[in-house]
Amino acid sequence: MAEFTVIRGGQVVEARPRGAQLADLLVEGDTIREIGPPAMPAPDGSKVIDASGKAIMPGFVNGHVHGHGTLAKGLVEDRWPLELFLNALPGLAGNRSLEDKRLNGLVAAVEMIRKGCTACYDLFFEFPMPSRDGIEALGRAYAEAGVRAVIAPMVADFTLYQAYPGLTDAIPEPLRRQVQKIELAPYEATADAAEDVFRNWPFDRSQIRPAIAPTIPLHCSDPFLLRCRDLARSYDIPLQTHLAETKSQAILGMRKYGCSLTRHLDDLGMLGPHLSAAHAIWLDDEDLRRLADRGVSAIHAPASNMRFGSGLAPLRAMLDLQMNVGIATDAANSSDSLNMFESTRLAAFISRVLTPDFRRWLGADEVFYMSTEGSARAMGLGGMIGQVAKGYKADLVFLDLHHINYVPLHDLLGQIVFTENGAAVDSVMAGGRMILDRGRITTVDESKLRRDVEAAAARLSAANLPMRKLSGAVQDMIGRFCRALAHERYHVSRQAWREEELSD
Ligand SMILES: [Zn+2]
């Protein structure tokens, strides 16, 4: 018989309608069975959790993260745009042992748990191609820590130097020859390796699910994109890609395909409800309509978008078209933390600098919905996580209402979105199990983790030094190339993110 837990006296947060109610929750095994008034009856022998003085919110769902980034925290230079980050990637994520891949997942999981997040969509990169062992090592780490994850091998068949036409011409010899030597596996081998992972998926899919991520359209040949599309269909798994993240990508896409990146993906039959488009910044009205018509979700990563100066995504225009939108942090070295409270707040704030028409700003309830249910739907987990509701998984965050963030308390949801930074996260339950209990992670030995990670980081720093030297040597040339591109005029019918004049 499944175990019952009754959680008494907490204030349960709701995004729709916006508010909070004092309620008891009955959890059976990993699922919420009942939500009722305070002191509601519970089966004999139920475990009781006293949640008085606590707010109970659904665990955040991080719609786009990269586990491989966690061991490279702090190594991304201050003023790098995305392209310089990609140039440095082999030196940031290279030489990883299986144990390093496991540590990646544990560090990401612990940070997310401590900051109120219980599920993520991880696009995980392995050089030169994905491996069953590597994905398993990452998945085991998430499962061990108690975080739910959708794990997508992040794949490509072109490096940055091959993907951006003209880029290597901007690099003089002998450096050019050296960057040309960096090669990913041929697409057939990579797709076969990914398929091997899906065919032998070792995890319970309610905890750890597979997906596939052709990383950036320009970095993937068309036959490779088609193969990814077919893998997603055959194995019934979600797809995610970084869509039109930078202006350089949008311009080069137009040059390479003769149409926008979105249109090109549509022509290949890639757009559909199983696809989520991360970042989704450089889109015009037609692109947005295509994405909306095909049921594509967008994943907004505001901290990373601003960290890299990539641009601001047109969220209100997406909502106008009934698109599903989720929210994400992006990697621990590109945002530079896995704090969904921060990403949620930034999503609301960014909408306010795009138009003076305050009726079109995103409200706390809207962004909170995106950070929970919106991301869950994009991951294919809609109806299972993202709400404190009957039948949903018991993935709950307990916030201490005695924390200064809530003194005084007037508007719980508003204060969670606009004030909370993670400091009041007291406990976290995932699948009915306390994974953070009054400030202590119960599933991972954090002191051991710290020691292991420090040793791994020191070893990786030394092992990756030659690659980092090479990326450092070509960085100025790549920077110049991309700066020139970004200054080009970019013709689109109308950039939807430039909000139209006010209309009453
Ligand atoms: Zn990303």
Ligand 1 center from residue 277 Cα (angstroms)? 10
Ligand 1 center from residue 249 Cα (angstroms)? 14
Ligand 1 center from residue 407 Cα (angstroms)? 36
Taking the C-alpha atoms of 406, 412, 413 and 415 in order, what is their torsion angle to the nearest 10 degrees?
-20
Ligand 1 center from residue 241 Cα (angstroms)? 8
Ligand 1 center from residue 154 Cα (angstroms)? 9
263-277 pLDDT, tens digit per residue, is 999 999 999 999 999
Ligand 1 center from residue 242 Cα (angstroms)? 6
Cβ neighbours, 10 Å, residue 302: 27
Ligand 1 center from residue 13 Cα (angstroms)? 30
Position 171 scores a pLDDT of 94
The structure tokens listed for 374 are: 């919106």
Q: What's 284's DSSP letter? A: B
Ligand 1 center from residue 454 Cα (angstroms)? 24
* Alpha-carbon distance values, 478 to 72, 204, 474 (Å): 21, 43, 6
Position 1 scores a pLDDT of 54
What is the mean pLDDT of each successive set of 10 residues along the chain, which is 504 residues long? 90 90 97 97 97 98 96 93 95 94 98 98 94 97 98 96 93 94 94 96 95 98 98 97 96 93 98 98 95 98 96 95 98 93 98 94 97 98 97 98 97 97 98 98 98 97 95 95 82 47 46
Strand partners, 440: 437
Ligand 1 center from residue 196 Cα (angstroms)? 24
Position 495 scores a pLDDT of 47
Position 497 scores a pLDDT of 45
- 225 with 268: CB under 8 angstroms? yes
Position 491 scores a pLDDT of 53
Ligand 1 center from residue 382 Cα (angstroms)? 22
Position 503 scores a pLDDT of 47
Position 490 scores a pLDDT of 64
Residues 6+ away with beta carbon under 8 Å from 304:
279, 310, 329, 330, 331, 334, 335
Ligand 1 center from residue 404 Cα (angstroms)? 34
Ligand 1 center from residue 424 Cα (angstroms)? 28
- 477 with 161: CB under 8 angstroms? no
* Alpha-carbon distance values, 130 to 127, 156, 218 (Å): 7, 10, 19
Strand partners, 50: 8
Ligand 1 center from residue 163 Cα (angstroms)? 17
Ligand 1 center from residue 65 Cα (angstroms)? 6
Ligand 1 center from residue 97 Cα (angstroms)? 22
Task: Give the largest Cα separation in the chain, rounded.
Answer: 76
Position 502 scores a pLDDT of 45
What φ, ψ does residue 253 adopt, rounded to 5°?
Answer: -65, -45
- 308 with 274: CB under 8 angstroms? no
pTM for this predicted structure: 0.96
